[in-house]
Amino acid sequence: MSYSTVLHALGWLILLLAGVSLLPWVTAFYIGETNSIVAFSLTLLMAGFSGGALIMAFRDVRYRPSKYDLLVLVVCGWFVIPLFAAVPFYVSGALANLSDAYFEALSGFTTTGASVIPTLDEVDRAIIVWRAVLQWFGGWASIVMGAAVLAPLGVGGMELRVSPLTRADKSRALDRFRGTAEAVGGIYAVFTAACFFSIWAGGVPPFEAFCLALSTISTGGFMPSDAGLSEYRAPWAMAFLFIFMGLGATNFATHRAATRGRDFGEYKEDPEVTYLGLGVLAAGILFALLALWATGDVLAALGNGLFLAMSLLSGTAFMSPDPSLNEGLSSVFVIGLILVGGATLSTAGGIKLMRMALLMKQSTRELKRLTHPHAIIRTYFGRRSLTIQIMKSVWTFFVLFLVAYALIAALLAACGLGFEAALVAAASSIGNAGPAYDLVRGSMLEGNPSYPEMSYGAKWVLILGMIVGRLELLALVALFSREQWRN
């Protein structure tokens, strides 16, 4: 293993974190928030010095990284970056201890959106901006790491999604990182700007619109205030949020192909776009029926139902603007949606639509073989034929995901949560859809603690779940396998 290569690349990630922390630092200076000025100045110094030192110390390394090196880099990135990102939460006084600060930072960076800040309206505005920026940065990082490392390595069937976005054919791994980061960054930034101007024009104040835009395109779910979306009473803004949540939950390789060739037929040819649309439509109609029973307004019920369905499937988990729709939601239904998740190579978490589709296709294939045991039955995903190795990888990922989910739920129950609450909280963490727990807790899980009220043991279990959900389990298992360490 080449530690120098991993540390050099990690230095760039830390330096990028220092760069994005400039925005809340400027915000703190503009508003005059003294505690935040000190906190972000310290973060800039720590991250800037650490990242720059790693880059300079290993800048002459010419070693070609192995697959194992890349996996180590991905795992270290998800653990280390939140350590620096936690500094502003603790130093500014927004959170009283380092454990909670790390939880908040990791939740933002993994785009989970679970918050342990008791009252958002009482913290500095620079901290609110930092939470939104951290989610935006984490969403971009998750796409880049997935496209540049996990997809070329074929983790969990992701080789089906290798495309020009990954630049995996002949380029070196670190060059592929850089090229993928640039390709994703342009599209990601354009979508974010479009989201901001759309919801601002739709009636949301500029500060809240900016924070919501960063949380929406990253499908993170952090809110800029305690009131929630019902505060704005801006139906056009909610419609734009619906659209951009869908764009964030769509494969960015498809976005790249569509914008690069100016051929929007790429969306039609991507099966995951179809699956996402059908899933939102089906779940939205069911939610709309619940809302219609309470309000009697057909159009409002349908709009709010579709919004909530997209919110849960994408992993954003924004509460519906209509409070009546958030009451009486089935925990099982919410768990199912957030565990399925969005598309591969998107900012959404969960098992992913591609894998669920492949599992259903394989099940159908096996049923056909019961009547025709010697038949040769080809199975396709889009235009690509599926091999037995791909299906083995997908099935392995699926089983490991469910086992990890069950273990996390059991640990949370041991930490004091009720059985149903433990299932929802575990799904929210491993599916990177943290606000879903708050969404259900208000009506179905009364008596169970909110995130700030949970014990330290429960919070660290959730931290583990967030990392497992974002890392792709096969990458984590491969990293710690005995064969890798022997090599």
Q: How many CB atoms lie within 10 A of CB 442?
A: 15
pLDDT at position 332 over 70? yes
Give me 189's structure tokens.
Answer: 């930034």
- Single-letter residue type at 244: F
Any idea what the Cα angle at residue 110 is, between residues 45 and 39, rounded to 5°?
A: 25
End-to-end Cα spacing for the chain: 9
Question: Is the Cβ–Cβ distance between 434 and 428 less than 8 Å?
Answer: yes
Any idea what the Cα angle at residue 387 is, between residues 385 and 393, rounded to 5°?
A: 125
Question: What confidence tier does 53 reach under pLDDT thresholds 50, 70, 90?
Answer: very high
Q: How many CB atoms lie within 10 A of CB 251?
A: 30
Residue 478 or residue 160, greater confidence? 160
Residues 6+ apart with CB under 8 A from 75: 471, 475, 476, 479
Question: Is the Cβ–Cβ distance between 113 and 221 less than 8 Å?
Answer: yes
On the 0-12 / 13-18 / 19+ scale of CB atoms within 10 A, 22 is middle
Residues 6+ apart with CB under 8 A from 469: 110, 112, 349, 350, 429, 430, 431, 432
Q: In 3-state terms, what secondary structure has residue 350? A: coil
Domain that holds residue 262: 1-376+384-487
DSSP 150-202: IHHHTGGGGGGG--TTT--SSS-HHHHHHHHHHHHHHHHHHHHHHHHHHHHHT
Most confident of 5-14, 160-169, 176-185, 309-318: 309-318
368 vs 375: CA distance, rounded Å? 9
Question: What confidence tier does 423 reach under pLDDT thresholds 50, 70, 90?
Answer: very high
CA 154 to chain centre: 20
Q: Model-level pTM?
A: 0.90
Q: Comparing 330-334, 351-355, 425-429, which segment has the lowest mean pLDDT?
A: 330-334
* CA neighbor of 216 nearest in space, from 231, 235, 229: 229
pLDDT, residue 146, reads 83
Alpha-carbon distances, residue 221 vs 137, 208, 224 (angstroms): 14, 13, 10
pLDDT, residue 482, reads 47
Q: Give the position of tokens 């969403």.
A: 139
* CA neighbor of 410 nearest in space, from 471, 469, 457: 457
Going by the DSSP 8-state scheme, the letter that residue 326 receives in this structure is: G
Most confident of 65-74, 185-194, 222-231, 317-326: 185-194
**Number of compact structural domains in the chain:** 1
Q: Comparing 44-58, 125-139, 323-337, which segment has the lowest mean pLDDT?
A: 323-337
Question: Is the Cβ–Cβ distance between 422 and 409 less than 8 Å?
Answer: yes
pLDDT digits (tens, 9 = 90+) for 222-272: 999 888 787 787 889 999 999 999 999 999 988 988 887 666 778 888 889
